[in-house]
């Protein structure tokens, strides 16, 4: 059996599409992707292939590149789907973007510890003297564009305009991804 994505991710894709492009577009995406789920249960496992298919069809339907769909998903997910679905985790994650990002590893561990088959990403952090933060991202899924969007979404959630630059990427052959985050 292949890897499974938790339903909360697919729910976020649905929320993004319905909010930005309308429910008719979402119905079309589901149909073309061959998805006949009436709704996505947050903690349920769905095949990674379904999630990939949804992203590809959203890209084809909206004209956004696959990478842009992934970034937009991340930006949208934090202040919308994530915030509504996990209010208690959002409360413990911190009151600023920096604190929130520094707690992402801990929060992923907490959120997924009761979920069978969860394969959450792992994060390590390096704080630079000038205030920038390096986030080392290690994941078998290598969803770096989603992480870039999530970081921007954390900024939106905290009303802070963050800047993110991917200075190393496993998709380009680096051992893992490193996101450099600059705070306002």
Sign of the alpha-carbon dihedral angle for 76, 80, 82, 83: positive
- pLDDT reported for residue 108: 75
- Domains of the chain by range and CATH? 4-68 (no CATH), 70-182 (3.90.1520.10)
Cβ atoms 139, 112 nearer than 8 A: no
**Helical packing angle, 144-157 and 66-77, nearest 10°:** 30
- pLDDT reported for residue 105: 87
- pLDDT reported for residue 181: 98
For the chain, which residues score pLDDT lower than 70?
1-3, 115-116
- pLDDT reported for residue 16: 97
Task: Please tell me the pTM assigned to this model.
Answer: 0.90
Q: How far apart are the C-alpha atoms of 149 and 68, rounded to whole Å? A: 9
- pLDDT reported for residue 1: 40
């Amino acid at each position: 059996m292949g890897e499974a994505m938790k339903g909360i991710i697919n729910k976020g894709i649905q929320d993004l599409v319905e909010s930005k492009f309308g429910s008719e577009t979402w119905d079309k995406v589901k149909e073309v992707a061959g998805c006949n789920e009436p709704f996505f249960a947050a903690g349920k496992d769905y095949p990674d292939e379904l999630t990939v298919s949804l992203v590809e069809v959203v890209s084809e339907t909206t004209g956004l590149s696959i990478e842009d769909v992934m970034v937009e998903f991340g930006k949208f997910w934090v202040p919308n789907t994530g915030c509504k679905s996990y209010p208690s985790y959002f409360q413990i994650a911190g009151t600023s973007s920096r604190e929130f990002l520094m707690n992402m590893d801990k929060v992923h561990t907490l959120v997924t510890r009761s979920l069978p088959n969860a394969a959450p990403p792992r994060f390590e952090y390096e704080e630079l003297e000038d205030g920038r933060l390096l986030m080392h991202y290690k994941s078998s899924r290598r969803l770096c564009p989603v992480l870039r969007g999530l970081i921007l979404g954390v900024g939106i959630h905290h009303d802070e305009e963050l800047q993110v630059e991917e200075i190393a990427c496993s998709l380009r052959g680096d051992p893992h991804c490193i996101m450099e985050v600059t705070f306002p």
